[in-house]
Chains A and B, each alone.
Chain A
Amino acid sequence: MERYWITPQPISIDECINKVVRPEAGAISTFIGIAREFTRGKRTLYLEYEAYIPMAVKQLERIGDEIGTKWPDTLVSIAHRTGRLNISEVAVAIAVSSPHRDQAFKASRYAIERIKEIVPIWKKEHWEDGTKWIGDQKETISYVENNKSAKEGQSD
């Protein structure tokens, strides 16, 4: 059962939950990222996501592996949407199950932060007066450093 996927179809968080539910789990933490209409006062009409699909899936799996190392006994599922998304549609869905709640909360937060660093997916904003490909949303580390951390963390 594939727990990581990229799809042009609408995503339901239930699909991710179903892939991590298990008898050992006492908690499932979920995160959903959705298309936002207003960013710093500017109105978005819709978003468009593009992905380098085979590599994006590998990087999602890598995030799951990183989480497994940091918080053993967790199980992760992540789905990311591509194509055109209207406002409030789900762009990304994450579910993490664990025996106790603390690991699940921490791991789901970690997953979304890592997605924004290393997974080759791009968002294009469509406004009333133009379009723009968005990059480096976190702006917390330089891209050179990011490239280094992306490479160093590789499992092979």
Chain B
Amino acid sequence: MIKVLLFAELQERAGKSEVMVEADSISVQELKEKYLLKYDMADLLAQAMLAVNEEYSEEDTVLKSGDTVAFIPPVSGG
């Protein structure tokens, strides 16, 4: 299982803060295409940074079962 975390506007659009995906050895890009399209948030995902296991990462990162991937909309702290 791969845990997907959603924040801020992404979370509101999806209607949930977390999605569990039954997958292994899959790139973030593939995860978005195969499992996240149904949430109708591709425009927001395209603007988001991403983190794998709490470190900034890239679309071609291969996710393993047990990993956590977070999509990080443009930040606005401070």
A112 to B57, CA, bound (A): 23
Contact among B47, B54, B56, B77 with A116 in the assembled complex (CB-CB below 8 Å): B77
**B interface residue count range (under 10 / 10 to 19 / 20 to 34 / 35 or more):** 20 to 34
Judging by beta carbons under 8 Å apart, are B78 and A143 in contact? no
Contact with B along A114-134 (1 / 0, CB 8 A): 011111111110000000011
Residue of A nearest to B17 (CB): A50
**A117: which B residues are within 8 A, CB to CB?**
75
**A75: which B residues are within 8 A, CB to CB?**
none
Mark the stretch among A10-18, A19-27, A99-107, A147-155 that contacts chain B.
Answer: A147-155
Main secondary structure on A side of the interface with B = mixed
Q: List 10 A-B contacts (CB under 8 A).
A: A54-B54, A55-B70, A58-B55, A91-B78, A119-B77, A122-B75, A123-B76, A124-B8, A143-B49, A150-B49
Interface residues of A (CB under 8 A from B): 33, 49-52, 54-56, 58, 80, 91-92, 112, 115-124, 133-137, 143, 146-147, 150-151, 154, 156
Q: Which 5 A-B pairs have the closest CB atoms?
A: A135-B74, A121-B77, A136-B74, A122-B8, A134-B76
Interface residues of B (CB under 8 A from A): 5, 7-9, 12, 47, 49, 51, 54-58, 70, 72-78
